[in-house]
Amino acid sequence: MFALDGINILDLTWQGPGPLATMMLGDLGAEIIQIRAAPTAGARQEIRVAGQRAVAYQAVSRNKRSLLLDLKSEEGRQIFHRLAREADVIVDGFRPGVTERLGIDYATISRINPRIIYCAITGYGQDGPYRDLPGHDINYISTAGVLNLIGEADRQPVVPLNLIADYGAGGKDAVIGILGALVARGKTGRGQYIDISLTDSAISLLTESVLSPYFQSGVEPGRGDHVLGGATPAYNIYQTKDGKYITIGCLEPWLWENFCRAIGKEEFTAYQSERDKWAEVTAHLKQLFLTRTRDEWFDFLCQQDVPVGKVYSLDEVFTDPQVVHRRMVIELEHPAEGTIRQVGFAIKLSDTPGQVRSLPPLPGEHTEEILLSLGYGRGEVERLRREGVIG
């Protein structure tokens, strides 16, 4: 048994937060059909040439079946509507207005299936003056005020990959919204529309550490000025003797005391709240950490009850004993590639744990299977393929 047994999802997303969200739902047991545009003859040839290797490691496509469908065609829309009648959730990654033009929007689908939960993920939301603007994570976190807070005070902001709006905020907010709507539907019997704005989600990440104190004091933190942004020596990154880096996170007074005692500088204990001393202490710690290797500092400070972490390369992450123990990398057997590695399950459920039930599919791998299950005959399927309605 899985947590989301019996939940059927139509996935109309192709990059960023949508595929991550549906991957998480699929890991929890939902049945997912990944719907992409039917390819041209040239694209079909590229798919055949790329073969299994192109998709084997695409973890965001695991636990999904693949249907290639031309939603711009009338017959393509009819196929989608037939799928939507039995679906529980639709996840849409189009820009606002696209699904209306295609005839697969929430208003249309909810008439076909009033229980449908329709989650639309966009950069700025379904309304407002920015709703039609194109964008990516870097644009959304800059608008949200997040980007300006990341980096050192005397340098330009640091681009943090697309980890914040796309994945840390929007993708997971989509999952939360969908699960909340499923609970609500269990009470009301009705589906609903979920409007996820990546910008809104990024703003929400600032709630406790930035916005609550800002709204209270009216004082805006500058880049590098926040205690969680590198201002304090107690929560910072230091280079070590071997050219690697280590982090300490001694925000609580007793943890800072543990650290100061461990390095023989108990006089620094009183400086944790004295900002005028932070530069002096930081300069001392920069020199101190250069006297031992990263791993030596880690082993030593762990024994002193100090929050400490090694700054890892990706190669190091997946040999770390904690990460290995938590199974955050899993090995799977692939028919063409042999043993492959994928990211594990971050959500640990005791009774209904996540599982990879199927490997990432080739684009269109399940098109015929899905249409046959809808009642189409093999002759109809072949005709639809010849006409480019399906791939």
Residue 80 half-sphere exposure toward CB, CA atoms < 13 A: 31
Contact yes or no for 67/367 (Cβ under 8 A): yes
* Whole-Å CA distances, 24 to 89, 174, 355: 14, 10, 10
**Dist. CA 366–CA 33, nearest whole Å:** 9
**Dist. CA 195–CA 131, nearest whole Å:** 12
- SS3 assignment for 158-197: CCCCCHHHHHHHHHHHHHHHHHHHHHHHHHHCCCCEEEEE
Give catalytic status of residue 226 as yes or no.
no
Contact yes or no for 145/206 (Cβ under 8 A): yes
Phi, psi of 375 (to 5 degrees): 105, 5
Closest by CA position to 272, among listed 294, 288, 254: 254
Phi, psi of 115 (to 5 degrees): -90, 0
Give catalytic status of residue 136 as yes or no.
yes
Q: Residues 81, 136, 226, 334: which is the catalytic one?
A: 136
**Dist. CA 307–CA 288, nearest whole Å:** 17
Q: Which two tokens stand for residue 390?
A: 């399906």
Q: Would the CA dihedral through 178, 182, 184, 185 be positive or negative?
A: positive
The H or E element containing residue 113 is: none
Phi, psi of 307 (to 5 degrees): -65, 115
- Cα 71 to its chain centre, rounded Å, is 26
Compute the CA torsion angle 72, 73, 77, 82 (nearest 10 deg): -150
Angle at the Cα of 82 (from 80 to 87), degrees rounded to 5?
Answer: 85
Q: Which two tokens stand for residue 21?
A: 């969200």
Q: Residues 166, 173, 200, 366: which is the catalytic one?
A: 166
Which residue numbers are catalytic?
Answer: 136, 166
